[in-house]
Amino acid sequence: MRSRKLIAVVSLILILSMVLMTGCGGKSDENNESEETYTISEPINVAVMNGPTGMGMIDLLENENYNIEIYQAPTDALPKLISGEVDVACLPSNMAAVLYQKTEGQVVCVSPMVMGVLSILGNGAEVTDIQDLKGKTIVSSGQGGTPEYALQAVLEANGLTLGEDVQVSWLANHADVNALLLTTPGTIAMVPEPFCSVALANGGDSISKLFDMNDLWNEAVGQDFPMGVLIARREFAENRSDDLRAMLIDIKASIDDVNTASDEVAQKIVDAGFLGDPAIAKAAIPNCSLCLYADEEGDCSFAKGAEIMKAFNEAMFGMNPAAVGGSLPGDDLYFTGR
């Protein structure tokens, strides 16, 4: 009975999500066909996270043009991008500015790739309003990254202070957070997709979504909430510009494929090890908000992506300059497509 109920819910979510899906990842290609073609001169080394960014590149995993490594935490991938072992990486959005400062401008922010996907869930937690979080502890992963600063902004907008009114227990990765959430009644956890869908599907009636962080961020800051960003080493972007262009075309095609949430895509996500159940994968995909701003003009242009990231970095800087490496990055952080 429970499995039938899950399938019914998943089907409803998919129908509604496909009706509502808009943006720079779920559109038809008919108005976005590139007039130029590019070829990749040699394999590109890529780092993605075990989450939406990795899922968005599912069609690139078996492509010999890419050496893709999947990481559980951004801290594992950062040193390899800095050292040059990795050419392109998908990381939490504030890491673009942090790396820009750390490397003295030797990285470029190519495009937002994942928009707001964070949620606060509870295992039987008696929380109905943000104020109910006062005096409580939230379990999460991503200390020093986008999750921490997003939570800080949301709490401050509601008169609460992170570390004083609300505590956070930081764990190594999202899988550990989910494990604790599912096994410990009373736990409050902040997790991104697809871990949110996994918890809701596996936790039965005891797990519920308390807050959508994307909605709370928009209320607090009044802007879009980029969660993940595509970053490239400047040397790679300049010296292998055709390779980067070819990669962006492949990423766009992969994201468009994933956003169909077809049975085939769901199975590929399971086969790659991102999730263990095709039904959960299908339910999670529309909520992953995959996107790519890599057109010359229009709503999905490089310029629009840069605008989103500039606004995000300014909001982060206003809360805590350390969130973006101590100072706002120069305009040369943002990739223009040329």
pLDDT tens per residue, range 108-127: 999 999 998 999 999 999 99
Is residue 16 scored above 80 in pLDDT? no
- CA dist., res. 119 & res. 241, Å (int): 37
Is residue 257 scored above 70 in pLDDT? yes
Percentage above 90 pLDDT, the chain: 74
Phi-psi region for residue 337, left (φ > 0), alpha (ψ -120 to 50) or beta?
left
Residue 146 pLDDT class (50, 70, 90 cuts): confident
88-104 in b/e burial notation, b at 16+ Cβ within 10 A?
bbbbbbbbbbbbbbeee
Is residue 144 scored above 90 in pLDDT? no
Give the pLDDT score at 337. Answer: 83
Give the pLDDT score at 250. Answer: 97
Contact 268, 58 (CB under 8 A): yes
| Whether the bond into 43 is cis, omega within 30 of 0 | no
Residue 25 pLDDT class (50, 70, 90 cuts): low
Is residue 75 scored above 90 in pLDDT? no
Cα end-to-end distance, the chain, whole Å: 56
172-178: average pLDDT: 92
**Which tokens is 286 given?**
């529309």
Give the pLDDT score at 14. Answer: 36
Is residue 28 scored above 50 in pLDDT? no
| Cα radius of gyration rounded to whole Å, the chain | 19
Residue 318 or residue 185, greater confidence: 185
Residue 39 pLDDT class (50, 70, 90 cuts): confident
Percentage above 70 pLDDT, the chain: 89
**Which tokens is 75 given?**
């801290």
Which SS3 state, helix, strand or coil, does residue 22 take?
coil
**Which tokens is 128 given?**
């109905």
Residue 32 pLDDT class (50, 70, 90 cuts): very low
pTM for this predicted structure: 0.81
